[in-house]
Amino acid sequence: MYRLVKPIFFKFDPENVHHFVVKRLKWFHDFFPLGKTILRGNYDISYKGLEREVFGLKFKNPVGLAAGFDKNGEYVEALSNLGFGFIEVGTVTPLPQPGNDRPRMFRLQDDHAIINRMGFNNKGVDVMAERLRLLKNREPGIIVGGNIGKNKNTPNEDAICDYVKCFDCLFDVVDYFVVNVSSPNTPGLRALQEKEPLKELLNTLQKRNNKDNRSKPILLKIAPDLTNEQLDDIVEIVKETHIAGVIATNTTIDRNGLYAEEKLKSEMGGLSGKPLTKRSTEVIRYLAQKSGKSFPIIGVGGIHTPEDAKEKLDAGASLVQLYTGFIYEGPGLIKRICKALI
């Protein structure tokens, strides 16, 4: 079915198509007679051998949806019934912000890739928290991660306050947190990946996390463009701050080896999709080997086939996430990956 409609979707602006599709998915799930049952019947797969226990949480399968697809936590329940083992929402910021000017998302079809410079467009953490609070009352079994960031206008010296605000606001309604300091689309954000600012940020969040004998797993999302020396720092920081793990990787600013026309290649923003497959797996393997597999890694970047997912798991990932592969290959990819892992 997706193969029939995909060529039509790809004739239109990708951001417009995204909103069109997810809104109709939610309507079908919530209001169409037997909509939820139909989605589960076609896409969900239940098999005990797929279950994973990672950083203290039990996942029904290891295939999740990466952050950026559902920025405001509006579609969690519908998306989970496409077979995902977990859904990561955000990136969310303390205050609402419109993001960068449009157009800000571009398909590189020859490369099976996307360039985006969305800029953390979202409705703010209070809106997300309220939505997830209602969701938790209906579907307590859905594992939800909260990907948190800073507002564009917040200077880096005040960034910790933004992360703390998001952390506190979402603490009761998400199952794990992801600290996003690796998006290339917020000016200056990647500077927070430097060793000392990053340690200060993560230690501050861990202090908040250990209050009242309750805690949530905190993960760090890193860029694929880090050097081995910087990855060594990441391993050291994870061990020193005792966070739960790492998500590898975010989008890349590298444009080497692309087939797309020069105009598309020169668009500013982060590149995702097949061109990232090899590099993200290299980062996963390096982190796993360097750390002695002492912390879990969620592998994301260029997963378009079951083989791509298995490579990341074999390289040392405990779980994987989809985004661009989900757009290019359709929702059937989740089930195909799960079947290949049985």
pTM for the model stands at 0.95
- Kindly state whether residue 341 falls inside one of the protein's structural domains: no
The β-bridge relationship of strands 297-300 and 57-59 is unpaired
- Kindly state whether residue 156 falls inside one of the protein's structural domains: yes
Measured CA to CA, the distance from residue 295 to residue 245 in angstroms comes to 5
Domain that holds residue 108: 2-335
- Kindly state whether residue 342 falls inside one of the protein's structural domains: no
- Kindly state whether residue 179 falls inside one of the protein's structural domains: yes
Cβ atoms of residues 38 and 326 within 8 Å: no
pLDDT tens, 189-248? 777 778 888 999 999 999 999 877 789 999 999 999 999 999 999 999 999 999 999 999
Lowest-pLDDT range of 7-16, 41-50, 83-92: 41-50
End-to-end C-alpha distance for the chain, whole angstroms: 25
Give the number of domains in the chain: 1
Measured CA to CA, the distance from residue 146 to residue 91 in angstroms comes to 8
CATH assignment of the domain containing 28: 3.20.20.70
Lowest-pLDDT range of 181-190, 287-296, 305-314: 181-190
- The catalytic position among 80, 183, 272, 318 is 183
- Kindly state whether residue 98 falls inside one of the protein's structural domains: yes
- Kindly state whether residue 340 falls inside one of the protein's structural domains: no
215 labelled catalytic: no
